[in-house]
Amino acid sequence: MQLGFVGTGVMGAAIAQNLMAAGHQLTVYNRTKSKTDALVANGATWAATPADVAKHSDVVFTMVGFPTDVDNVYFGDDGIFSGLSAGKTVVDMTTSRPSLAVKIADYATAHGFHALDAPVSGGDIGAKNATLTVMVGGDTATYQAVLPLFETIGHQVNHFGGPGTGQHAKMANQIMIAGTMTGLTEMLLYAKAANLDLEKVLATLSSGGADNWSMDNYVPRILKDDYTPGFFARHFLKDLRIALSEADAMGLDLVATAQAKRLYEVMVDVKGLGDQGTQGLINIY
């Protein structure tokens, strides 16, 4: 297929590479052009604008940073919608606001396009290994048409309903991860203060009821003082703010998630560590 990909950061580049490895032709765009160099070297075509990506693609994937970025790449000058033709499909994989997913879907429907919101979970490792969890919102026919592409990049793909429901599922995911990140951080602090062998602690906890993905993937990095981002802390803070805003609209008081947000605000807004991975939370204690 002729596919487009807008946003080739840590996650997007790996997803795009797996789509190319499956035999698809890719046209790519990123604000920082150098982040597409490896993809272009492997056979992708560079486009100067998101609109140019859309003109040459049957399905356009987007994975950018913040909801404002999503809005801009779709609705801005030289945005995707200005280059898209009827019958083509857009798939936003950014973790973003459910209301924005609905806005994109409504515009797409009104202009003869198709749209899905499809945020993912699994971090840089899942993106590289094509083992992502994909959470999809949008109409069933479009989902079924795009499903083979999702199965190329993920091992778990679920359709939750209409536009925005994929984003709501991702918010549930981020609420859960907020707890595992604070838990693994404080677990390490406690184990270190008790003079335990941290490698043995990890091996022990990973074999019992405390096991979780975040601990298995991020504690080894912390023990090596590796805070490179599998997922940027500033993006995770954005996600927690969206989740809590949605929860507030539903009349929910998510106390633990609010505390996790406060801690990541210290990390990102106060300490300036937003370009570290989420495991860098331990650096504010």
Catalytic residue numbers, as ranges = 170
Measuring CA to CA, how many Å separate 240 from each of 25, 120, 202, 256? 35, 15, 27, 11
Phi, psi of 132 (to 5 degrees): -70, 155
> Alpha-carbon distance 96 to 163, whole Å?
12
In angstroms, the CA 167 to CA 96 distance is 7
Q: Check: CB of residue 47 under 8 Å from CB of residue 53.
A: yes
Q: At what angle do helices 10-21 and 140-153 cross, to 10 degrees?
A: 90
Neighbours of 191 (CB within 10 A): 17
Burial pattern 230-257, b for ≥16 Cβ within 10 A else e, equals bbbbbbbbbbbebbbebbeeeeeebeeb
CA distances, 21 to each of 157, 178, 203, 212, 246 (Å): 19, 33, 35, 30, 37
Torsion angle of alpha carbons 137, 140, 143, 145, nearest 10°? -160
Answer for the pair 212, 260: CB distance below 8 angstroms, yes or no.
no
Decide the pairing of beta strands 120-121 and 132-137.
antiparallel
AA identity, residue 180: T
SS (HEC) of 257-278: HHHHHHHHHHHHHHCCCCCCEH
